[in-house]
Amino acid sequence: MEVNILIGGAAGQGMETIMNLLGKALVREGFGLIYTKDYMSRVRGGHNFSRLRIAPGSPWTTVESADVLVALNEETYHFHQGNLSPSGRVIYDPELFNLPEGENRAVPVEMKKLAEEAGGKVMANTVAVGALLVLLGLETQAVEELLKDTFAGKDGVAEKNIKALKKGYDTAARSCSACFDLPPKNEGSKSLFIDGNQVLGMGALASGCRFLSAYPMTPSTGIMNYLAGKSPEYPVVVEQAEDEIAAINMALGASYTGVRAMTCTSGGGFSLMVEGVSLAGMTETPLVIVVAMRPGPATGLPTRTEQADLEFVLHSGHGEFPRAVLSATSHEDAFYRLNKAFELADRYQTPVFFLSDQNFADTHRSVEPYDFSRLAYNRHLAEAGGFEKPYKRYRITESGISPRALPGQFENEVVLVDSDEHDENGNIIEDASTRRAMVEKRMRKQKALAEEMDEPDLYGDPHPEVLLIGWGSTYGVIREAVDALAALGTKAAMLHFSDLWPLPQKRLSGLLAEVEKSYCIENNARGQLSALIRRETGLSIGDSILRYDGRPFLPREIVEEVQNDL
Amino acid sequence: MTCKADNYIIGETAWCPGCGNFAIREALAGALADLCLDSHQVLLVSGIGQAAKIPHYIRVNGFNGLHGRALPPAVGARVANKNLKVIVESGDGDSYGEGGNHFIHNIRRNPDIAHFVHDNQVYGLTKGQASPTSEPGMKTGVQVEGVTVPPLNPLALALVMGAGFIARCFSGEKEHLKETMKAAINFSGYALIDILQPCVSFNKVNTHGWYKNRVFFPEIEDPGDWSAAMELSRQWGEQIPLGIFYNKPHQTFEESRAALVGEPLSFRSFNPEACSSLQEEFL
């Protein structure tokens, strides 16, 4: 029991407005849903569409088929009518175009005209929301409340929108009312309606991030927008740097001087940052770097998704130094995992990467509210009396971690950091024995860091015949594929990595020895996790299922590949 | 601590005997002493180059970062702790070449940073190639036909970009340099001093004597006169003016950010649980 809605049109026609309004109202009503975007790298024109799936619980993926198609232009109808279920409906504006004769699923709504009657054609999207509500058999009240919240303080705007909403509702009611069965509502506390970038922005802020320096780059920009919108109410400074080189170096300066700092970018921008990554490693400066992946090489497909920068991030920066690589798997997990990234960066005084991608960044889901008491804030700074005087930034210790003081923290103590190889005090050296001691000190941190990595998530049959391995944003789709395989009688399980480096190996090694068939499912062309696992463990994963056309996997595709093999 | 210049001087330097860097270091130590700044309240940020080694030779906090990237970490440091006096000190290649983009945009940004550029018109660390300020015609191992492009004029560029404080000094006029450094450190906003200095090893054109015979101190009646400052910035050749050409503060980067009002961000306490109301907007 589920309903799938697809809205399509040209860039600039306001699909996002419709989905945000409808999605949030539905979540407020208690429905579980997911909303994904498929958009082109242009501000006007082209063909963009969004999918909304309302299903029991909180669905993980959207599907190809649609029950309701909102065609904001004629092209959308022709592109997607093949996916429309026989009992589906098409909402369209008969003043813009006509549907072919014999199309008996039509719900004509004069969106532009009705919006003008309500006070302005800009509200055509609100008319469409009204039409959708009646088809779903819902009242307009939740959306009315939302409109009042959204336009609070703007004289008459909410009222006009409510008028538009009702006009859409009444007009569509002539064609069809409550023609779809919605799934049962979720019980318990209200859920959030939130996208991936908002999860990461909120996670950073609640982890005590005080400075974000970045250069806008899709699909990471939403993080910048979120944090910028919270200043000055929250003590966070967002600086749009002149380039990504400045962005990472600014963040390092802020971190060295004492705040939790972060930068975010995508592959191209990250390419510019890598000398700074190496500087973070050498100066032992904590830093969280969010890399929201999109298809490369070069400019690639700017608004689409890929997981092809795992190896790049893993090897970024010249020289050898410890690092951690974590990833965004689900909205539920990413909030806490980004907090872990900040904690690791501070504890081990080294760069920590957080891999996201367009599929995660732009997807909204209904999720239960987060428990902020689970977030940690440990700065691991030197305390008065807790270090040998004079203070030395790179004091050699057993763990490799030196007491970290901030400039200005202690009277008459100075903190010197250097990108050259240095002695305990931070002064340039060239002698072999100090060099050896410093390399060994830095690399000792990697050992302890490895103990911090979470083993991959195991979901499904505890003794599977088929093991599906993945990482990052494929969590939901592989999980649904496991469920679908189980329903078909295949004993399947998912092993999904959130923490990628240092690679946690225990659970993987145990399982691989047991299963008959294993697949590594990745949004890249070369199977980068599969190769990493082979390199680190000597174990080979049976097969790869790869997708590199810039689109996220569908559960059906994975199920078919596995079944063809069995 | 007692405010004596000697207290700031540390370390065995790796500079050539006769290098202009020595005088610049002494002037800086003198300026810090005259202003009686505590070592732990000053941060010296540099990039890479001979000049950029200075954080190792002055006892204050130091961030010796990447080539060309001295300004960005200095900005980050000002965000984190606006109580620190932040001084960026680096060479002409670092500041105007590799770091040219940061130079331009930080003038626009106007953080409260004093930027002292050791301008010897040549690359020292890599042994004698042309820098962005090298004289046309100067022959080097790379510019074998002589430098063929005109030099970058840092002061004119800074003025055009809206810098509030620009000055030219010479390492051979140490007392003037010290006084100008004090003015730059006390200036509210981005303050640039282009410091002419000889490179005894690699610049055989612009020697100590070459500068000594040309520099003079013009009468500057109104340091808020932009056109007069531009004229002085562009004067080069037989007569090279020294002094604070322009001095007119305007709103700084720090003043423009409401989040920075109050205690430095670095020393504010924080509790994640106090942020739980953040999720209300998503309900």
* CB neighbour list of residue A29: distance below 8 Å, 6 or more residues apart: A138, A142, A185
Residue B1 pLDDT exceeds 60: no
A45 vs A57: CA distance, rounded Å:
35
Supply the pTM of this predicted model. 0.97
Pick the residue of B270, B277, B280 with the most A CBs within 10 A to test the interface with A by mutation. B270
**Residue at A542 is within a domain:** yes
A128 vs B21: CA distance, rounded Å:
71
Report which secondary-structure segment, H or E, holds A485. helix A475-487
Distance, C-alpha A43 to centroid of its chain:
22
Which pair of tokens denotes residue B188?
């509210």
The answer to whether the CB atoms of B279 and A369 lie below 8 A apart is yes
Helices within A284-380 (DSSP H only)? 310-315, 331-348, 358-361
Question: Is A188 in CB contact (< 8 Å) with chain B?
Answer: no
Q: Which of A232, A255, A256 sits opposite B258 (nearest CB)?
A: A232
Q: What is the CATH number of the domain that holds A473?
A: 3.40.50.920
Q: Which residue has the tokens 């009444």?
A: A170
- Could you tell me the residue range of the domain that residue A67 belongs to? 3-173
Same domain? For A279 and A388 the reply is no
Quote the ipTM score: 0.98
The answer to whether the CB atoms of B41 and A230 lie below 8 A apart is no
The answer to whether the CB atoms of B56 and A234 lie below 8 A apart is no
Report which secondary-structure segment, H or E, holds A149. helix A141-150
Which residues from A are below 8 Å from B102, CB to CB? 242, 246
Same domain? For A151 and A10 the reply is yes
Strands A457-460 and A492-497: antiparallel
Closest residue in chain B to residue A339, using alpha carbons only: B272
Which pair of tokens denotes residue B32?
């810090």
Which residues from B are below 8 Å from A188, CB to CB? none
Q: Provide the pLDDT confidence category of residue B280 given band limits of 50, 70 and 90.
A: very high
Question: Is A239 in CB contact (< 8 Å) with chain B?
Answer: yes
DSSP B39: G
Q: What's the mean pLDDT in A146-166?
A: 95
Strands A33-38 and A364-367: antiparallel
The answer to whether the CB atoms of B282 and A193 lie below 8 A apart is yes
Strands A84-92 and B85-91: unpaired
The answer to whether the CB atoms of B40 and A194 lie below 8 A apart is no
Instruction: Render pLDDT for A496-538 as a digit per residue (tens, 0 to 9).
Output: 999 999 999 999 999 999 999 999 999 999 999 999 999 999 9
Which residues from B are below 8 Å from A420, CB to CB? 64
Q: Which of A246, A407, A411 sits opposite B61 (nearest CB)?
A: A407
The answer to whether the CB atoms of B267 and A258 lie below 8 A apart is yes
Q: Which of A250, A373, A428 sits opposite B75 (nearest CB)?
A: A250
Question: Is A256 in CB contact (< 8 Å) with chain B?
Answer: yes
Instruction: Render pLDDT for A317-341 as a digit per residue (tens, 0 to 9).
Output: 999 999 999 999 999 999 999 999 9
A352 vs A340: CA distance, rounded Å:
10
Q: What's the pLDDT at A188?
A: 85
- What does pLDDT average to over chain B? 97
Which pair of tokens denotes residue A327?
């990833």
Q: Provide the pLDDT confidence category of residue A189 given band limits of 50, 70 and 90.
A: confident
Which pair of tokens denotes residue A519?
């697949």
Pick the residue of B266, B273, B277 with the most A CBs within 10 A to test the interface with A by mutation. B266
* Burial environment of residue A499 by CB neighbours within 10 A (0 to 12, 13 to 18, 19 or more): buried
Same domain? For A321 and A271 the reply is yes
Task: Tell me the torsion sign for CA atoms A502, A505, A508, A513.
Answer: positive
On the question of a cis peptide bond just before residue A390, with omega within 30 degrees of 0, the verdict is yes
Size of interface A-B (CB pairs under 8 A): 208
Task: Decide: helix, strand or coil at residue A63.
Answer: coil
Q: What's the pLDDT at A566?
A: 83
A347 in Cβ contact with A320 (< 8 Å): no
Q: What's the mean pLDDT in B96-119?
A: 98
**Residue at A40 is within a domain:** yes
* CB neighbour list of residue B277: distance below 8 Å, 6 or more residues apart: none
Distance from the Cα of A155 to chain B's closest Cα (Å) equals 21
Distance, C-alpha A436 to centroid of its chain:
40
A438 vs A392: CA distance, rounded Å:
13
Q: What's the mean pLDDT in B31-42?
A: 97
Same domain? For A296 and A422 the reply is no
Strands A237-240 and A287-293: unpaired
How many beta carbons lie within 10 A of that of residue B170, not counting itself? 23
The residue type at A430: E
A407 in Cβ contact with B81 (< 8 Å): yes
Question: Is A491 in CB contact (< 8 Å) with chain B?
Answer: no
Listed in order, strand segments (DSSP E) in A318-456 are: 324-327, 351-357, 364-367, 416-418
Q: Provide the pLDDT confidence category of residue A43 given band limits of 50, 70 and 90.
A: confident
φ, ψ at A60 (rounded to 5°): -95, -25
Q: What's the mean pLDDT in A460-474?
A: 97
Question: Is A405 in CB contact (< 8 Å) with chain B?
Answer: no
Residue of A283, A398, A288, A391 lying closest to A340 (CA atoms): A288
Q: What's the pLDDT at B134?
A: 97
The answer to whether the CB atoms of A251 and B76 lie below 8 A apart is yes
Q: Provide the pLDDT confidence category of residue B10 given band limits of 50, 70 and 90.
A: very high
Same domain? For A495 and A431 the reply is no
Same domain? For A416 and A464 the reply is no
Q: Percentage of chain A surpassing pLDDT 90? A: 96
Q: What's the pLDDT at A40?
A: 87
Residue A41 pLDDT exceeds 90: no
Helices within chain B (DSSP H only)? 5-8, 20-34, 71-80, 92, 100-109, 154-161, 174-186, 208-212, 226-234
Q: Give the domain-ending residue among A437, A452, A467.
A: A452
Which residues from B are below 8 Å from A428, CB to CB? 14, 53, 56, 64
Which residues from A are below 8 Å from B56, CB to CB? 416, 418, 427-428
Same domain? For A317 and A300 the reply is yes
**What is the Cα gyration radius of chain A?**
26
* CB neighbour list of residue B46: distance below 8 Å, 6 or more residues apart: B52, B53, B54, B55, B62, B63, B64, B65, B70, B88, B89, B90, B94
β-bridge mates for residue A213, sequence order: A239
Distance, C-alpha A427 to centroid of its chain:
41
Q: Provide the pLDDT confidence category of residue A44 given band limits of 50, 70 and 90.
A: confident
Q: Percentage of chain B surpassing pLDDT 70? A: 99
Q: What's the pLDDT at A177?
A: 87
Residue B276 pLDDT exceeds 90: yes
SS3 readout for A162-217: HHHHHHHHHHHHCCCCCCCCCCCCCCCCCCEEEEHHHHHHHHHHHCCEEEEEECCC
Same domain? For A234 and A364 the reply is yes
Q: Give the domain-ending residue among A452, A484, A512.
A: A452
The residue type at B176: H
φ, ψ at A293 (rounded to 5°): -75, 145
Which residues from A are below 8 Å from B81, CB to CB? 257-258, 406-408
Which residues from B are below 8 Å from A198, CB to CB? 282
β-bridge mates for residue A326, sequence order: A354, A499
B142 vs B120: CA distance, rounded Å:
17
Closest residue in chain A to residue B56, using alpha carbons only: A427
DSSP A427: -
Domain count across chain A: 4
A219 vs A37: CA distance, rounded Å:
12
Same domain? For A419 and A461 the reply is no
Strands B61-64 and A416-418: parallel
Which pair of tokens denotes residue B36?
């009686």
Q: What's the mean pLDDT in B12-33?
A: 96
Task: Decide: helix, strand or coil at residue A460.
Answer: strand
Distance, C-alpha B134 to centroid of its chain:
18
Same domain? For A11 and A159 the reply is yes
SS3 readout for A242-263: CCHHHHHHHHHHHHHHCCEEEE
Q: Which of A207, A256, A411 sits opposite B77 (nearest CB)?
A: A256
Q: Percentage of chain B surpassing pLDDT 90? A: 98
- Cα end-to-end distance, chain B, whole Å: 56
Q: What's the mean pLDDT in A549-560?
A: 96
Which residues from B are below 8 Å from A377, CB to CB? 270-272
Angle at A396 (CA atoms; ends A391, A400), nearest 5 degrees = 120
**Residue at A188 is within a domain:** no
How many beta carbons lie within 10 A of that of residue A192, not counting itself? 23
Closest residue in chain A to residue B265, using alpha carbons only: A259
Q: What's the mean pLDDT in A13-41?
A: 94
Q: Give the domain-ending residue among A173, A208, A240.
A: A173
A220 in Cβ contact with A264 (< 8 Å): yes
Which residues from A are below 8 Å from B45, CB to CB? 253
Angle at A254 (CA atoms; ends A252, A258), nearest 5 degrees = 115
* Burial environment of residue A411 by CB neighbours within 10 A (0 to 12, 13 to 18, 19 or more): exposed
Distance from the Cα of B80 to chain A's closest Cα (Å) equals 5
Q: What is the CATH number of the domain that holds A249?
A: 3.40.50.970
**Residue at A14 is within a domain:** yes
Task: Decide: helix, strand or coil at residue A29.
Answer: helix
- Could you tell me the CA-to-CA distances from A277 to A427, B78, B93 in Å, in that order? 20, 21, 22
On the question of a cis peptide bond just before residue A235, with omega within 30 degrees of 0, the verdict is no
**Residue at A444 is within a domain:** yes
Which pair of tokens denotes residue A39?
């958009």
Residue A71 pLDDT exceeds 70: yes
Closest residue in chain B to residue A191, using alpha carbons only: B283
Instruction: Render pLDDT for A345-375 as a digit per residue (tens, 0 to 9).
Output: 999 999 999 999 999 999 999 999 999 999 9
Q: What's the pLDDT at A181?
A: 93
Q: What's the pLDDT at B2?
A: 67
Q: Which of A193, A254, A276 sits opposite B80 (nearest CB)?
A: A254
Closest residue in chain B to residue A260, using alpha carbons only: B266
On the question of a cis peptide bond just before residue B264, with omega within 30 degrees of 0, the verdict is no
Q: Which of A236, A257, A419 sits opposite B77 (nearest CB)?
A: A257
Pick the residue of A35, A58, A186, A237 with the most B CBs within 10 A to test the interface with B by mutation. A237
Q: What's the fold here for domain B5-282? A: Rossmann fold (3.40.50)
B18 vs B74: CA distance, rounded Å:
29
Residue of A328, A325, A337 lying closest to A370 (CA atoms): A337
DSSP B96: I
Task: Decide: helix, strand or coil at residue A54.
Answer: strand
**Residue at A145 is within a domain:** yes
Same domain? For A204 and A112 the reply is no
B85 vs B32: CA distance, rounded Å:
10
φ, ψ at A519 (rounded to 5°): -130, 140
Listed in order, strand segments (DSSP E) in chain B are: 42-46, 61-64, 85-91, 113-119, 165-170, 191-196, 215-216, 240-241, 243-247
Q: Which of B72, B84, B270 sits opposite A257 (nearest CB)?
A: B84
| Domain coordinates in residue numbering, chain B | 5-282
